[in-house]
């Protein structure tokens, strides 16, 4: 066999692909259509106007088929800067924005400039598995930060985990997988901690468009010196249903973006031109449509919260954006519970072990439910099937 990078060999397999293998290996009960709550991604295409914009660009814009600037289209960078400045009450320049091939690439690009083998990065648990996977591949140690009630991390607890190898703290709000919306004061406390200790604060706001709160979710960009500590990540995939086009963003200081440019030029050369054109059209034309999408997600969130009390023994730990994160009441560990839920009730969901350190027993008692692609009727069916599940209790 050819040599294999040991860091790659030690990285776990992609969880969503693992769940799809379960689906291929399992005979579903007759008469029960699959309810897939395993992946947090839109399954419907973008609205017609946006698809038309993509088609028009493909047919009439020759530059859409060529290499573009490594850090993204100037018009899209400027639009993000202008809209973010207004939304967050701060000053963000176009030169402080870079466009990437999705938010996962944004994270990887940022981390490539911050941490190398032997360094440490603090991740609250439950964590987003792709963040953990990238750190593992690079030989960077992911330091778990246990979260408290509502899955909210605390800066004081993070301070105790900082060593001379720590390079950054990563926060995801609204959270994947937990759904928690971090209070503004929590983010400010982490900002102050990172600034005092010379660390980068990375805030992944992939799900910002589905935050239940009105107004700005935090005041980080209102700090005139925000770019000495803050790096924000964003995805256009969820708001505009552009998952297949891979468009994300990084907001950071220009010196950091100059280093990120080296990474992006090496791994992708430039972001997808058609995807960027689509994102720009969406930002300029779909505000009302996105607001409607947000309201629908919030109604589904409400249905999830309302449904849990009827499930015997289950405990809802967090719920927001696309996700409900819950503790199950069964004696078996969550990977076995997930397989049994699929076999008995044709529901595909992910076990908490995919979002927790291997040595943390809490993961064996937890499940993530990504509810963005099931409506209120589907959520009612989900709860009915979960109530019919037959497994030994703890």
Tell me the pLDDT tens digit for each residue of 50-82: 999 999 999 999 999 999 999 999 999 999 999
**Could you tell me which residues are beta bridge partners of residue 146?**
125
Q: Which residues contact 321 (CB under 8 A, 6 or more apart)?
A: 174, 175, 176, 179, 181, 207, 210, 211, 297, 301, 372
Can you list the alpha helix ranges (DSSP code H) found in the chain? 6-9, 15-25, 48-60, 74-88, 102-114, 129-137, 155-159, 184-197, 237-240, 254-267, 273-285, 287-307, 334-345, 376-387
Query: In which residue ranges of the chain is CATH 3.90.1150.10 found?
Result: 6-45+289-387
Average pLDDT of the chain to the nearest whole number: 96
Cα–Cα distance between 202 and 210 in angstroms, integer? 19
Nearest to 101 by CA among 286, 236, 240: 236
Per-residue pLDDT band for 387 (boundaries 50, 70, 90) equals very high
Residue 224 is predicted with a pLDDT of: 96
Residue 40 is predicted with a pLDDT of: 80
- Whether residue 1 is predicted with pLDDT greater than 80 in this model: the reply is no
Residue 376 is predicted with a pLDDT of: 92
CATH code given to domain 6-45+289-387: 3.90.1150.10
227, 252 Cβ separation under 8 angstroms: yes
Tell me the CB-side half-sphere exposure of residue 180, using CA atoms within 13 A.
24
Query: pLDDT digit string (tens) for 236-252?
Result: 999 999 999 999 999 99
Query: In which residue ranges of the chain is CATH 3.40.640.10 found?
Result: 48-286
CATH code given to domain 48-286: 3.40.640.10
Calculate the CA 83 to chain-centre distance.
21
Residue 156 is predicted with a pLDDT of: 98
Query: pLDDT digit string (tens) for 79-101?
Result: 999 999 999 999 999 999 999 99
205, 177 Cβ separation under 8 angstroms: no
125, 102 Cβ separation under 8 angstroms: no
- By the 10 Å C-beta count (0-12 exposed, 13-18 middle, 19+ buried), 11 is classed as middle
Residue 334 is predicted with a pLDDT of: 97
- Whether residue 362 is predicted with pLDDT greater than 90 in this model: the reply is yes
Joined tokens for residue 132:
């953990």
Nearest to 228 by CA among 202, 205, 204, 195: 195
Joined tokens for residue 364:
């064996």
Residue 71 is predicted with a pLDDT of: 98
Residue 16 is predicted with a pLDDT of: 84
């Amino acid at each position: 066999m050819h040599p294999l990078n040991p860091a790659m060999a030690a990285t776990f397999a992609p969880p969503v692909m693992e769940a799809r293998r379960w689906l291929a290996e399992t005979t579903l009960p007759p008469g029960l259509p699959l309810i897939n709550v395993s992946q947090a991604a839109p399954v419907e295409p973008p609205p017609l106007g946006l698809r038309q914009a993509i088609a028009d660009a493909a047919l009439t814009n020759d530059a859409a088929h060529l290499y573009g600037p490594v850090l993204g289209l100037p018009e899209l960078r400027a639009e993000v800067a202008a809209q973010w400045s207004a939304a967050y009450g701060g000053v963000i320049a176009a030169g402080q924005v870079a466009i990437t091939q999705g938010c996962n690439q944004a994270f990887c690009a940022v981390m490539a400039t911050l941490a190398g083998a032997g360094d440490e990065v603090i991740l609250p648990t439950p964590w987003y598995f792709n963040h953990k996977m990238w750190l593992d591949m690079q030989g960077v140690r992911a330091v778990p930060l246990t979260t408290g009630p509502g899955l909210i991390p605390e800066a004081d607890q993070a301070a105790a985990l900082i060593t001379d190898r720590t390079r950054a703290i990563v926060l995801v709000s609204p959270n994947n997988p937990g759904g928690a919306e971090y209070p503004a004061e929590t983010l400010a406390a982490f900002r102050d901690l990172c600034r005092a200790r010379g660390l980068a604060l990375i805030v992944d706001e992939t799900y910002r468009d589905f935050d239940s709160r009105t107004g700005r979710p935090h005041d980080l960009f209102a700090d005139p010196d925000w770019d000495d500590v803050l790096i924000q990540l964003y995805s256009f995939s969820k708001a505009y249903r552009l998952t297949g086009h891979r468009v994300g963003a990084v907001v950071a200081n220009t010196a950091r973006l100059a280093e990120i440019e080296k990474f992006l030029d090496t791994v992708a050369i430039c972001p997808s031109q058609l995807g960027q054109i689509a994102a720009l059209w969406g930002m300029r034309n779909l505000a009302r449509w996105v607001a409607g999408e947000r309201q629908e997600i919030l109604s589904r969130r409400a249905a999830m919260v309302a449904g849990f009390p009827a499930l015997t023994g289950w405990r809802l730990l967090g719920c927001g954006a696309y996700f409900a994160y819950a503790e199950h009441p069964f004696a078996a560990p969550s990977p076995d519970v997930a397989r049994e839920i699929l076999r008995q009730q044709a529901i595909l969901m992910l076990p908490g072990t995919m979002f927790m350190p291997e040595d943390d027993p809490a993961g064996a008692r937890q499940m993530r439910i990504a509810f963005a692609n099931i409506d209120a009727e589907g959520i009612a069916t989900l709860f009915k099937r979960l109530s019919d599940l037959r497994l030994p209790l703890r």
